[in-house]
Structure 1
Amino acid sequence: MGDGEAFTYNGGRVGPGERQNVRYGISETYLGDPVRIPATIINGEHPGPTAFLSAAAHGDELNGIEVVREVAHEWDLSKLAGTLVCLPVLNVPGFLAQQRYLPVYDRDLNRSFPGKEGSTSSKRMAHRIYTNFIEPCDFGLDFHTSTRGRTNMLHVRADMADPDVHRLALSFGSNVVIDSEGPDGTLRGEATAGGVPTITIEMGEAHRFQRGLIDEALEGVRSTFAEYELLEETAVRWPGWRTIISGSSEKTWIRADAGGIVDMHHERGALVHEGDRIATITNPFKDDDAAVEAPFTGLLVGVLENPVVYPGNPLCHLLELDVETRRILEREQSGGTARDSEET
């Protein structure tokens, strides 16, 4: 695909220079009515790669929906070189119910790829999405948010050991890349294993449109399109600084040791130093507050939004930084600007 030929799926064809808005059937309701996902396919007049943009594999993750919609319907794609497959809402039943998983089935669509015909409901849905709209592509961007009650700064998750994924992840131009293989059944993990390099973009919180994060993600899409020459007028962006977190340091969750009400003292994206108080946990019946301190100097990629916890609940996602990145962030935090340099 992407070489000036038609994009085909089961039941349709989009020729060069054509656009289609499709509601594609992937399942049926109890009444036998079709469950359809929206898809917009734009096949440019000029040859180039085929890319998919997907969102709302979890039905309550809304930020990515607006990113995909704006690219499909508000960008000038008249000079597109290649094909775009825009899938703003993968989990339509979850979206309609405003919940994370497939309602009734209680399955995670993003643990069901690449799917299987004749299997469970979620795997049948995933199979129809995957074979028709993912498998024909050359690469993909899959947009997510944190689960409800938490929020993430915008960052990329990618298997950086794969050279094609490595290129894709850096092209998006985010400050933070978390290097990890996608868990079994995830869209990015299974698509990458199937020869379609894919990254996940995490941004913000569930049940929200957050304009600043949406705009930042749109800049990342433009940067990726520049890298793969889908649009001529764009340029690959350098975010000012970048850190790639890999291996055993992929995740460090700071968890509550006491139940109660949480006062978070820092927002997502903040640099905190070892010993800084990240949060205070209290309750209505006692005066002895429990302080939660940073065990090392790092970046708060994700923080709690819902201010109540049981012992063991996650409070924040703290990433340890290399010395140079830490210095850049310290200068920014003190009112300076990041060093304008080439990435090493």
Structure 2
Amino acid sequence: MKKIGITGQNGFVGQHLYNTIGLTPEIYQRIEFKKDFFEDSDALDKFVSQCDVIVHLAAMNRHESQEFIYKNNIELVQRLTASLERTKSKAHVLFSSSSQEERDNLYGKSKKEGRQLLATWATSVGGIFTGMLIPNVFGPFCFPNYNSFIATFCYKLTHNETPTIDIDGEVQLIYVGELVNEILNQINLGKTNESYTVNPTARYKVSEVLSMLQDYKERYFDNGEIPMLNSIFEVNLFNTYRSYIDYSSHYPIKFIQHTDSRGSFVEVTRLGVGGQVSFSTTVPEITRGNHFHTRKIERFAVIKGKALIQLRKIGTDEVLNFYLDGKQPAYVDMPIWYTHNIKNIGEELLYTNFWINEFYNPKDPDTYFESVTSDL
């Protein structure tokens, strides 16, 4: 079992890496990191001394002063290196650098010099070092107006704002889940590579990405339709878009009922993709679910009875509660990395339609069990 610590654990890439490592506790043990460790040499030394692997992600990307970014990022590397020396650590250190290393800006310079400082440390002690040059990363929970144009577009399109394009160039992209797999592959390889270029998994013009996101807004956000998703990139982009929706105000979405003397008719889902449709009945007071997915797209549609659907983002405490009643059929879509459940809170059978975009595969279920609330 490898003990892994992540500086910048609560940042965009850091939280995805931290949560992914947590899915296989039989292989990896997470060593907790806090931002203020960099201000306390004893706490930093204690952290470093526990780690077999340290992934250094902590860095500043945006500030009104480029000089401040440069100074901050170099100081973080210097403090980490000093701790490695004090503790005589032989940890495998991985450093998140950027394809901006060769650009004429102080952020790129801070990344290049930081990588070189850690490479020098590793050489001097016979340690293992991986310097990763990473293209533009996108994915759920990235901060808008910070370091990803995709995050900014997604936020604006889900909050009644209009995105604008500054420069419509081609951008090399990698999804955060794909980057996490690259990091884990390098950890498992355990060999020094001072300048490892992480290849992008997609290349698109900014306008092409915006066009796809605008289609998601029109079809999905405005009309509830699951759009066509023709590639892994499009699935990842769609899941990224969904993560910026304010779930507490957007859901549940009530269906349009067509009622006459024969009864009622409700259209449940319009699909531009395939997948699997299921139907269930649930007896009163019984709860289904309490699991989460890292890639699957899923819809819960309550047709008859009363239900409580609950969601909680992994690593957080806030629980979102949605009350649905079959007298006004409605649905809630499940975001990735949110554990979720559905409970029959009525006195009759609960009838629910489930749609998910993948057939169930027991060899790769993408289903991880975790209770939404602590009272279960």
Higher relative contact order (CA 8 A, sep 6+): 1
Question: Quick check: which has more Rg, 1 or 2?
Answer: 2
More helix by share: 2
